[in-house]
Chain A
Amino acid sequence: MAEITLQKRPGEAAAVRTRRRIKALARGWGAPLALVLLLAFNVLFTPNFLTWQTFFVNLTQVATIVIVATGMTLVIATGGIDLSVGSLMAIAGALAPLILSGALTGPLDPGLAVALAFVLPVLAAGLFGLFNGVLVTRFAIQPIVATLVLFIAGRGIAQVMTNGNLQTFSNPSFQWIGLGRILGLPVQAVLMVAIVALAAWILRRTVFGRHVLATGGNEPAARLAGVPVTGVKLAVYAISGLLSGLAGLVVIAINSSSDANLIGLGMELDAIAAVAVGGTLLTGGRASVVGTLLGALIIQLLRYTLLANGVPDAAALVVKAAAILLAVWIQRQGEGR
């Protein structure tokens, strides 16, 4: 008996090792592979896929989601969540036209007005994000409840500011952020890449990034090891607020109008979905900003593929749901429990 068991063991161990390796591979390479497969499918079967127009349409549509999801990735990396992103987008988006038109401050020098319309709304959204952070740290409120407060109240604030009215405007220098081109590429796509690169660098190479992951991995241990947990959490919620504000500006610039009822509606779910598909652990401690970018691209391309091939938008939602579950399930397999 003992001999047989002994003989069997190496084979079994090898099988287990292989299975683990496949699972780890699926986890690490699942997202890029899915993206490549989707691209290949489209190149082969979707008419007019390889055109600049298709490329730009997809890029501009995904840019705001990626910008918000980058902040969300940092928040989730600390073990938190931010439900207020869509409402903060609405606040920033409602504020900017008020500044441009001078309704808030009185008539301004056009250049100054544009500068303020970029800076103030983003700062305001950042401050609201900081408020989320204070609730989470100082008052030790669960992130999902703490950010629920601004999810509900934030859109209300934006609606009250504008009395729920649609604000239309036309200001080419402000709308550059949504309609302009840098080296032939849409500005918001360049912005998106820059933000992702910066956040990925911060997360991987800086002390702050280490602290973010340590906080999400094991908070009491991080605290004991001298990680400034409170400061780290305040920072990630503030960053998430700032990025939401920026995304809000991009949205209204594209539309030449601002509707506080609609800006960023449902954005929290798109952002969380992108983070989940991108392989960031939703309980915190392991995060990948590039993964989030891939996740958002996969979801966008999946939707585009279905729509371009005549599948109704509603059915695309069902497929998106299945894709999210599949992605999260594959990650769980890799955990080797």
Chain B
Amino acid sequence: MTADAMERRPGADRRARVWSGLARQGVLAALLLLILFGALRYENFLGAYNVLSVLRYNSMFALVALGMCFVIMTGGIDLSVGAVAAMASVVSALLSPLGLTPALLGGVGAGLLAGLLNGLVIVRLGILPFIATLATMLAAQGTALLLADNQSVSVSWDGLFVELGQGDLLGLPIPALLAAAAFALGSVMLNYTGFGRTVLAIGDNEEAARLMGLPVDRVKLGVYALSGALAGLAGVVLASQFGAGQPTEGIGWELFAIAAVVVGGTLLTGGVGSVGATLSGVLLLGLIFNILNFENGRGSISLSAYWQSVVRGLVLLVVVVLQSRLTGRRAS
């Protein structure tokens, strides 16, 4: 860091904030446009069945992305979320014969433990988040396979457990309500609590945050624990929705979560971010899949489901290129 870079910093910061604001509006506008497009083009797009199933299916990704959003705002990354969700789905499926509460607590608890492990390794041993969470990812994959004996574990259909993923409350899917509640809580935490302000301060400048006497280590531990617990909850929902704990599910979830967070305008360098825009990012990426399905249903063209990853990649590309142009950031 030279003097030149120091002088440029405030300007770059302002641009970053402006970008984040624009992106927040942008991703919301893109989402609304996509919904409008779908509503005009396809008959049943806004029908209750489609809307509810999109919400139900994407709630798992939303939960994972929320945790990822907090981690990224501190300038970190959590690659373990997919594997942790898979592990939690196995744990909750194994506990499901005991009833809803043990299964729920077990799954979320397993996720929380993995998250705490991430946080401790990063904070205490000073290992890069990238590597620490990569190791946890492998460990969680292994644990999931061991617990499940290398196959998917059927859940118990007797109790309330399957209702968690498959049931409705007031006409809305329960997992979507869970995700909505988590995002509301997350938004309040980020904007109105000391924890949220510290998260942003760490992402902005960790050294400065430490010098100001902010509890940097504790908050970092907190965000990884939060991310782990939310991944655990996503895993419980997964098991309940599909009727089985899936030790090999969740591969690639972490990278889709990162993509959703980035599309929502949160900078990967930390310090700026929005919980709401992350939700828009998840829905935007999720709707692409939905629209491809409808397009195929019309029969005018035939696009294989594989196009969805190409289109998702392109969306991510457009967003990051715009981000780089508008913030005028140079690699440092």
User: What residues make up the interface of A, taking CB atoms closer than 8 Å to B?
Assistant: 81, 83, 135-137, 139-142, 144-146, 148-157, 159-160, 163-164, 219-220, 265-266, 269, 272-273, 276, 282-283, 312-318, 320-322, 324-325, 328-329, 332
Contacts and interface: CB of A to CB of B under 8 A. Distances in A.
B51 interface: no
Contacts of A315: 142, 146
A318 B138 contact: yes
Query: Could you say which of B5, B126, B134, B321 has the most chain A C-beta atoms within 10 Å of its C-beta?
Result: B134
Contact of B2 (A152, A157, A220): A220
A22 B316 CA distance: 46
B168 to A, nearest CB: 32
B312 A152 contact: yes
Given A151-B255, A325-B131, 14 more contacts: A139-B321, A142-B269, A144-B268, A152-B309, A156-B306, A159-B306, A163-B306, A219-B332, A220-B1, A269-B134, A315-B146, A318-B139, A321-B135, A332-B125
B142 A316 contact: yes
A116 to B, nearest CB: 24
Interface string B292-318: 000000000000111111111110110
Contacts of A140: 324, 329-331
Interface of B is mostly: helix
A150 B316 CA distance: 10
Contacts of B143: 314, 318
Chain B interface size, as a band, is 35 or more
Contact of A141 (B145, B146, B321): B321
Interface in B1-53: 1-2, 5
B150 interface: yes
B128 interface: yes
Contacts, number: 151
A266 B137 CA distance: 12
Contacts of A318: 138-139, 142-143, 146
B320 A145 contact: yes
B256 interface: yes
Contact of A325 (B5, B121, B251): B121
Given A156-B309, A160-B307, A322-B135, A135 B255 contact: no
Given A83-B255, A149-B320, A276 B131 contact: yes
Given A148-B258, A314-B145, A321-B138, A156 B331 contact: no
B196 to A, nearest CB: 24
A160 B306 contact: yes
Contacts of B144: 314
Given A156-B307, A160-B304, A163-B304, A145 B262 contact: yes
Interface in B124-162: 125-128, 130-132, 134-139, 141-146, 150
A69 B13 CA distance: 36
A139 B324 contact: yes
Nearest to A148: B255
B259 interface: yes
B313 A321 contact: no
B320 A139 contact: yes
Contact of A152 (B132, B135, B316): B316
Nearest to A138: B324
A139 B322 CA distance: 9
Contact of B139 (A150, A163, A317, A332): A317
A242 B256 CA distance: 25
Contacts of B317: 135, 149, 153
Given A135-B320, A152-B255, A318-B139, A272 B310 contact: no
A307 B142 CA distance: 14
A144 B256 CA distance: 13
A337 B304 CA distance: 53
Query: Could you say which of B259, B321, B330, B331 has the most chain A C-beta atoms within 10 Å of its C-beta?
Result: B331
Contacts of B236: none
B112 interface: no
Nearest to A150: B313
Nearest to A81: B130
Contact of B127 (A163, A273, A317, A328): A328
